[in-house]
Amino acid sequence: MIQKKVCMIGSFGVGKTSLVARFVRSIFSEKYQTTVGVKIDKKVVEVGDKQVTLVLWDLAGEDALTTVRPSQLRGASAYVLVVDGLRRSTYDTAIDLQKRVDEAIGPVPFFCMLNKNDLRDRWEVTDSDIEALRAKGWQLLYGSALNGEGVENLFRELTTAILKVPNA
Ligand code: GDP
Ligand code: MG
């Protein structure tokens, strides 16, 4: 059985906990519940003939803004960098966090999830912002924990990327 650790990274309120809840339990809640410490969930993903258990680490710092603790990142095979399209600040934070994660654990696959696509007409993050991420070589996906758009696909793509890493 292959088990892989995946960290959920991003500013406070971007939807990290909601994306995991949607993926693992097929639920969504409007209520904001602060994640305390680390919450760990597991789900099996099948890609081709391989079954991979994703061990999802939903991280939260006390200040919950930009903290990433190297000790919590250790051993991660991949991560999801979540941006809340409604808040430009979460975009800037994502760029900052990506650098810090890279410094902490080196280059592992990651996808940037542009979340809250159900409210696309109210986004502060612009198409040119998004183009700038693409130009950096980031892999971008749009989605919504609210209606489930893109969520299965995110974790499937991530698993595929993990399996492509030599000796993964
Ligand atoms: P976290 O701090 O990153 O774990 O963020 P949460 O998952 O707790 O979500 C923060 C708030 O955004 C909550 O009120 C959620 O209900 C809401 N939320 C999360 N994802 C979505 C989404 O895709 N669309 C909308 N409209 N709201 C969302
Ligand atoms: Mg949370």
Query: How much is the pTM?
Result: 0.95
121 lines ligand 1 (CB under 6 A): no
Whether the Cβ atoms of residue 120 and residue 132 lie closer than 8 Å to each other: no
Q: What is the pLDDT of residue 68?
A: 74
Per-residue pLDDT averaged across 15-25, rounded?
96
Per-residue pLDDT tens over the stretch 111-157: 999 999 999 999 999 999 999 999 999 999 999 999 999 999 999 99
Residue type, 128: S
Helices 151-164 and 16-25 pack at an angle, to 10 degrees, of 90
Distance separating the N- and C-terminal Cα atoms of the chain: 13
Ligand 1 contact via 147 beta carbon (within 6 Å): no
| Residue 60 · residue 38 · CB < 8 Å | yes
Ligand 1 lined by 65 (C-beta under 6 Å): no
* Residue pair 84/14 in contact by the 8 Å Cβ criterion: yes
> Residue 30 above 60 pLDDT?
yes
